[in-house]
Amino acid sequence: MAAQSKIPQATAKRLPLYYRFLNNLHLQGKTRVSSKELSDAVKVDSATIRRDFSYFGALGKKGYGYNVEYLLGFFRKTLDQDETTNVALIGVGNLGTAFLHYNFTKNNNTKIQMAFDADTNKVGSKIGGVPIYHIDQLENRLTDVQAAILTVPGAQAQPITERLVQSGITGILNFTPARITVPEEIRVHHIDLAVELQSLIYFMKHYPTDE
Ligand SMILES: NC(=O)c1ccc[n+]([C@@H]2O[C@H](COP(=O)([O-])OP(=O)(O)OC[C@H]3O[C@@H](n4cnc5c(N)ncnc54)[C@H](O)[C@@H]3O)[C@@H](O)[C@H]2O)c1
């Protein structure tokens, strides 16, 4: 595994991009992909992709491309080995409470360290071992936290996002229906259950798994 820690930073940054696309291909039942196909999808030129993949020990074969399963296995291992990322959760309601109970116990390198809410009845308690602070404390408490999970009502999403960005958060997992605006160096992943469900139904219809 030592070779994996030698991956250049620029390559490592593209890993999640590759991972998402390959995962989608895998879900569609595709077993191989060409560097051209990948290049078009992730908007990285084929030469860079080939160089990146050579670090992973994945050497594409002419006329075959890359084995999707092999790459996915590699990415899972590598992404899992990343250094610990501290996460804060904002909005301890129905959804937020469920996440705190879950707290990604199967994944050692991601942990919700703290949570925030505006409701004084929730502040001062712990859920799943995670302390809940008042949202007024956000700027004081958010030191050494890199990512945030947003589970507040939609109308609160943008103002809270601005405070998170000011506090040095660089990644936001947004569960609210609001589309949030951030500076371009901040990464936002939006999880919309309605869209996910529609997408599932689309794939059920068009890519039945028992083909
Ligand atoms: N519950 C679901 O299944 C579900 C599914 C998909 C998306 N969502 C979205 O996730 C978000 C949360 O949903 P929910 O059902 O948990 O809502 P909820 O009303 O149960 O919880 C929202 C929490 O945010 C807190 N809050 C309100 N304003 C705040 C502020 N300014 N700062 C900090 N905390 C604040 C509230 O006190 C409350 O605890 C919503 O945007 C919702 O649309 C929910």
Q: Which ligand 1 atom minimizes the distance to the CA of 156?
A: 31
132 and 47 housed in the same domain: no
In a domain, 209, yes or no: no
108 and 49 housed in the same domain: no
What's the CA gap between 86 and 147, in Å, rounded? 7
45 and 126 housed in the same domain: no
69 and 138 housed in the same domain: no
Report CA 191 to chain centroid distance, whole Å: 10
75 and 103 housed in the same domain: no
In a domain, 59, yes or no: yes
Q: Which ligand 1 atom minimizes the distance to the CA of 157?
A: 41
DSSP code for 61: B
Structure tokens given for 127: 């859920």
115 and 157 housed in the same domain: yes
Confidence of residue 12 (pLDDT cuts 50, 70, 90): confident
In a domain, 155, yes or no: yes
24 and 61 housed in the same domain: yes
Average pLDDT of the residues in 141-149:
94
Confidence of residue 38 (pLDDT cuts 50, 70, 90): confident
95 Cα–ligand 1 center, Å: 7
89 and 50 housed in the same domain: no
Q: Which of 58, 79, 100 is the last residue of a domain?
A: 79
ipTM above 0.95, yes or no: yes
- The verdict on the CB of residue 152 being under 6 Å from ligand 1 is yes
103 known member of a binding site: no
DSSP code for 137: G
Give the CATH number for residue 94: 3.40.50.720
What's the CA gap between 182 and 171, in Å, rounded? 10
Q: Which residue has the tokens 């939609």?
A: 154
State if pTM tops 0.80: no
Residue of the CA atom closest to atom 34 of ligand 1? 117
In a domain, 200, yes or no: no
102 and 167 housed in the same domain: yes
168 Cα–ligand 1 center, Å: 23
Among 137, 110, 112, 111, which Cα is nearest to 124's? 137
Predicted confidence (pLDDT) at residue 2 exceeds the cutoff of 60: no
Q: Which ligand 1 atom minimizes the distance to the CA of 92?
A: 39
More confident residue, 176 or 59: 176
What's the CA gap between 130 and 115, in Å, rounded? 7
Considering its fold, how many domains does the chain have in total?
A: 2
pLDDT tens digits for 155-201?
999 999 999 999 999 999 999 999 999 999 999 999 988 888 888 88
- The verdict on the CB of residue 174 being under 6 Å from ligand 1 is no
112 and 189 housed in the same domain: yes
pLDDT tens digits for 76-101?
777 765 567 899 999 999 999 999 99
Residue of the CA atom closest to atom 37 of ligand 1? 119
**What are 147's strand-pairing partners?**
87, 171
More confident residue, 211 or 173: 173
Give the CATH number for residue 19: 1.10.10.10
What's the longest Cα–Cα distance across the chain? 62
- The verdict on the CB of residue 93 being under 6 Å from ligand 1 is yes
23 Cα–ligand 1 center, Å: 29
In a domain, 162, yes or no: yes
Most informative mutation of 123, 130, 133, 152 for ligand 1 (most atoms within 8 A of CB): 152
- The verdict on the CB of residue 188 being under 6 Å from ligand 1 is no
Predicted confidence (pLDDT) at residue 4 exceeds the cutoff of 60: no
Structure tokens given for 48: 């860079």
59 and 116 housed in the same domain: no
148 by Cβ neighbours in 10 Å (0-12 / 13-18 / 19+) ranks as: buried
Q: Which residue has the tokens 């705190």?
A: 100
In a domain, 124, yes or no: yes
What's the CA gap between 203 and 141, in Å, rounded? 43
What count of other Cβ atoms lies within 10 Å of the Cβ of residue 180? 20
Among 57, 39, 41, which Cα is nearest to 49's? 39
In a domain, 164, yes or no: yes
- The verdict on the CB of residue 135 being under 6 Å from ligand 1 is yes
Predicted confidence (pLDDT) at residue 6 exceeds the cutoff of 50: yes
Selection from 3-12, 57-66, 151-160 with the highest mean pLDDT? 151-160
Structure tokens given for 155: 């109308």
Give the CB-side neighbour count of residue 175, counting CA atoms within 13 A: 16
Q: Note down the domain range covering 7.
A: 2-79
